[in-house]
Each structure stands twice: as C-alpha cells, then as structure tokens.
Chain A
Amino acid sequence: MSILKKALTTAALASVLLAGAAQAETKRIAIVVKALGIGFFDAAAKGAEEAAKELGDVEIIYTGPTDTTAEGQIEVINSLIAQKVDAIAISANDTDALVPALQKAMERGITVISWDSGVAKDGRLMHLNPSSSPLIGNTIIKLAADHLPEGGEVAVLSATSTSTNQNVWIEEMTKVLPNYPNITVVGTVYGDDLADKSYREAQGLMQTYPNLKAIIAPTSVGIVAAAQAVTDAGKVGQINVTGLGLPSEMAGHVKSGASQSFAIWNPIDLGYAATMIAYNLNTGKATAEPGAEIPMGRMGTAKLDENGEAAMADPFTYDASNIDQFSSIF
C-alpha cells in the first residue's frame, strides 16, 4: 500500500468517525430485558420512555430475546454493540454467561449497567436492584403469614432454578423464617417462567401437600398460573396465592379471592431509574464507584455499596383496596 493510499484511507476513516460523532448527539440507550412480551418489562420500557422524554436528547431501544436464555441475550448484545449504542441497561437471564459479551461492549465504549436481575461485577458498571433483597424476602413470607394467623404449610413456586433474583429472594426469605414460627415452607418448585409449566407445578404442589395453605410465587408468570390452578381446583379460600405479580394480570384473581394480596415495586419507576442512571453515567455526570450517589431524577439518588449495587425502593403491597387503581397502569 502506497503512502498516498494510506493517507487517503486514514482520512476516509477519520471522516467516517467524525460523521459518527456528529450524529451521536442523541444518546441511544438500550433497555435489554429477559424476554419480550412480558408485562412487567413492557411497563419498565414505558418508564424508560418517560425518562427519555424528560431528558430530551435520549432515544430508547427496547429489546430482548424470544426465550429467557443467556444465548439469546448475547445475540441481542452483539447487535447492540454493532449499532454502537451509547448505553445498555440489562435485566440478565444469567449472572455469569453474559459477562464476556458485556465486557466486549464496555471495551468498545458502551456504558453497561444491569437492573432487576443482575450481572456479575466484572460485566457491568453498577447494578440497580428494584428493592433490597432482604426486604423482598421478608415481604413475600409476610404476605403469606398475614393471612394465616393459625400458621400452616406454604410452598414456593419460583421461575427457573437459574434465575438470579428469585434465588436471592428465596434465600433471604429462608433467613427470616424463624420470625414466623407457625409457618412451614414445605418445598420449592420451578415453573421456568412459562405459564403452562408453572400451572402444572402448582397443580403438583396441591396434590403433594393436601394441607397446603399458601403458594408464594415470586414471579409475575408463576403467580398468575398458580392463582389459575387454585381457581381451577376449586380451592379458592383454602389456598392463598401470593408473591410478586403485576396488578393488571392479578386483578381478576384478587377480586375472586384466589389471591388476598401480593407485592411488586413499580416497574415503571424501575425502567425510569435505570434509564436515568445509564444517562448520567454515560454523560459523565456521575461515576460508578463504591459509595457514589447517582441521581435518578424523580426517584432520588441511588447509593452504591462496595459491590457496585444500589436499591431503588421498597416493594409495595396490592390488595382489593387498590388493585383497580393500578391494574390500568401496568
């Protein structure tokens, strides 16, 4: 290659880069979720759009795989790296498997944070928990215990056995179990966040434990499936389904009595806060380091602990008194 050619190529490359820089006035923030078509994440995307509108110069790319697999999310991450987005805020299907792909994204100058379901420390700048895990663990068992003054047997219907967040919550729940001496947790089953499998697992629980008094499903797919299974088995009033769910999907079951109450943080707030943090980190208005306080707009500030994690807010309980108000929102 002659010197002239080299010079020309360099010039061409430089102009392409400059053109790219000129276009990059609007920040493109990708909200990557576990899988598309889940109400919770659609609500989070709504919150992200709200943050984008407030910030003005932000474009939201709401994306995710079809199935809740790490492999699918890596394909999504690769295509986002290719599009040279400014930031990726991800709810991970796997704590560890996404790390190499997200490290590559960070090497290429993309701001990476995780929210809802976290990525291992090396794969992100920080992680935003919707709430603190101990609080959630306590809330889900408390929801069950509040409606069981006499005590009794309860069982857990979780998502996949590899879901980061569900596992942590169940662990925290187990820690506070001694505070509820009348309550016995008889088992944990996994519905893989699939409606049909969760339904079958709930049926299995009712058959295995005839004295079952409550099913705790800390997943928005599982809680609906369990409530449906209890309704179909004619056990409304005998078995209370509780846990974490979406008001719009649970409204019917709360009214029928299959579920007395359940909890969830506000996913709109979560998507909003994640977007605000991604924007502030990307524009250099804040840095992710232990002890740092990152502004989240109307949600206040997120204070990072030594693992680079922060909690947004406490979970909120929904029951017959407020379900109508929230079921139209998400």
Chain B
Amino acid sequence: MTAHTQGRVIPDRLTSPLARALRSWEALLLLVAVAIFIANSFASPYFLDPWNLSDASFNFTEKAMIAFAMAMLIIAGDIDLSVASIIALASTVMGAAALAGADVPVLVGLGLGTGLLCGAFNGLLVAGFGLPSIVVTIGTMSLFRGISYIVLGDQAYTEYPKGFGYFGQGYVWWVFSFELVLFAVMAVVFGLLLHKTNFGRATYAIGNNATAARFSGIRVDRIRFILFLLTGLCSGIAAVCLTSRLGSTRPSIGTGYELEVVTMVVLGGVNILGGSGSIHGVVIAAFVMGLVTFGLGLLNVPGIVMSIIIGLLLIGVIALPRLWRMWRK
C-alpha cells in the first residue's frame, strides 16, 4: 500500500479557509475596490473628503438595497427586471396619498405595501403558474411603470410633507446618511439570511438544482414566492428613499435602475445562472460601482466613458479568474 501512494499526496482536507478566502472572487473585488480608492485619492484632491464621500454614497445606496434581494433571487435561478418599475409605481402611490394629505408613516407604509403587492404579483405568476421569471418581469416592467404614466402623464407629485425628506436627505450621525445606515443594516440582515439560515441554504439548493431541492423536501415554490416578495419589498424601500431624495415623483423615476442592479449583483460574483454568490460580494460591488462613478465624475469624465469603464470592469472581473485558471493549467 505504501508503495502505491508514494510520490502522490492525497489531501485529507480542503485548502485552508484563509487560503480559500484569499483566492475568492470577493478578495479580487476588494483588491479592485482598494485600488480604485487609492487611484481616486491621487487623481482628485476633492476625493478624500468625508462629506464628498457621503454625497457619493447616494449614487449606489438605493440600487444596492434592491441588489441584496436581487442577489438572492438570482442565486435561486430567477430574475426580476421590474424592480425599477416597482419604484415608479410605489412612488406614484405615495405621491397620490401625499396629495390627499397622508402623513409620513402612512406614506412609508403605502410605499412598502405597493412594493410587496408588486412582488407578490410577480411571485404568483412565476412560482404559482410556473411562468419563466424573465418573461413575467419584462411584462410587469412595462405594466407597473405604465400604470404610473397613466396616472401621472406629464404631471408630477411634489406635495410631500416636510418630515418625509429625512429618508433620502437626512443624516443619522455626522456624515452617515439615513440611506447609508439603512444600506448597512440591510447588508447585515441579508447576509445573515443568505449565509446563516435554512432559508438561505434552500435558496442555493434551488439555484443549483430545483428538482433535487424539491425531492429533498424543500418547498421550492414557496421560497421562490418569498424571494419575489422580498425583492418587491426592497424596491418599495428604495422607492421611499429615492422619492424622498428627489422630493417629487414623475413616472420616469428610477428609469434604467434594473440593469444597474443586475450589473451590481453580477459584479459581486453572483452566478447569473444561479447557484452561487454572496452578499458581501454584492456589498463590495456596490462600493466599486459607487467609487468608480464618483471618482470619474470628479474628473468630469463624460458619462458614456463611465459606462464603458463599468462594462470593461464587469467583463474584466468576470474574465480574470477564468484566465488565471487557464494560465495555471
């Protein structure tokens, strides 16, 4: 027996957790984030200013709030492209209620409630009737925003009560805005939900093999429905923040956010085909996107160049680990 195994090392365990963490996607992304941070602070004298960085955080906080739920949904093998339209509809409902004289708690409740209802509608069609999520949510993307356009047309709701401005413009302490704190709290909540609970493990299982998950006793449809509910709720939260920050509602509010959210999720290392990914990856990706757009903004780089750089970054971060593996072989 000894003779046969000579010259060959049989591992008795996986590589150490530290080594795995260092080689992970998140480590690479963190490295990118740090590099961008350093490059930015050299490129512009205005970058390293707490208030400026605080202002910059608004570039990504609302999108990141949705990205957490979207990450779980994509890990489970679904996608929701209607999130930006849910923002528009929730914002329209809040605007109409504000005009009718509703106070702040009622407005927030309505915003979140509208998000939940939209999420439930998507979830029912996908998990209940077994329709493909990409088709359903492309449909509801037009539907939800379409309702806003019918209600508002070329008008705007601008009569929000004074206290409502806190969610998008208020500060909890020093430079830490309400949105930034909420972003951090949601990151922790979703991190725990995905990585520390049965629900989270079931999400991965469904994304890897829904049939196998079903046969091992996971209530697949119920979990998919709940994930759509969560995405709707998070879109509702983002709607409250964005509406408060803009102080007004137009049906075009949040246009194009869905793709930025998905970009954030994919940049964060979530497999677009489902089955793998992490919340901390999405958190780092949110910072990377925020830092890149803000840093380039300080240099007055035209927006189209920014889009190109984000695109290259996305392709680069996805291609690098694969190239690295090919090169090592």
Contacts and interface: CB of A to CB of B under 8 A. Distances in A.
Contacts of B293: 75
Nearest to A192: B252
Nearest to B156: A96
A46 B154 CA distance: 32
Given A70-B246, A71-B254, A76-B297, A36 B55 contact: no
Contacts of A95: 156
A222 interface: no
A81 interface: yes
Given A75-B297, A82-B56, A95-B156, A160 B252 contact: yes
B298 A67 contact: no
B256 A65 contact: no
B105 interface: no
A81 B56 CA distance: 10
A162 interface: yes
Contact of A63 (B58, B59, B253, B302): B302
Contacts of B242: 71
Contact of B246 (A35, A64, A96, A162): A96
B255 A82 contact: no
Contacts of B44: 83
Nearest to A65: B303
A287 interface: no
A66 B298 contact: no
A236 interface: no
Contacts of A94: 156, 246, 248, 250, 252
Interface residues of A, number: 34
Contact of B250 (A72, A83, A120, A162): A162
A70 B298 CA distance: 18
Nearest to A160: B252
B208 interface: no
Contact of B154 (A67, A72, A82, A167): A167
A63 to B, nearest CB: 5
A100 B246 contact: yes
Contact of B165 (A84, A100, A161): A100
Interface residues of B, number: 40
A66 B248 contact: no
Contacts of A76: 297, 303
Given A61-B300, A63-B302, A161-B149, A100 B255 contact: no
Interface string A79-94: 1011110000000001
B1 interface: no
A100 B255 CA distance: 19
Contacts of A35: 303
A99 interface: yes
A100 B59 contact: no
A65 B305 CA distance: 10
B249 to A, nearest CB: 9
A97 B255 contact: no
A108 to B, nearest CB: 9
Interface string B50-67: 011001101100000000
A96 B252 contact: no
B251 interface: yes
A82 B298 contact: yes
B307 interface: yes
B46 A83 contact: yes
Given A75-B293, A120-B158, 19 more contacts: A35-B303, A64-B303, A70-B252, A70-B253, A71-B242, A71-B253, A71-B255, A75-B58, A75-B297, A78-B294, A79-B298, A81-B55, A83-B44, A83-B300, A94-B246, A95-B156, A100-B169, A161-B153, A162-B156
Interface of A: 35-37, 61-67, 69-72, 74-76, 78-79, 81-84, 94-97, 99-100, 120, 160-162, 167
11 contacts: A63-B300, A67-B255, A69-B255, A75-B293, A76-B303, A81-B55, A82-B52, A96-B158, A96-B247, A97-B246, A167-B154
Interface of B: 44, 46-47, 49, 51-52, 55-56, 58-59, 149, 153-154, 156, 158, 165, 168-169, 242, 245-248, 250-256, 293-294, 297-298, 300, 302-304, 306-307
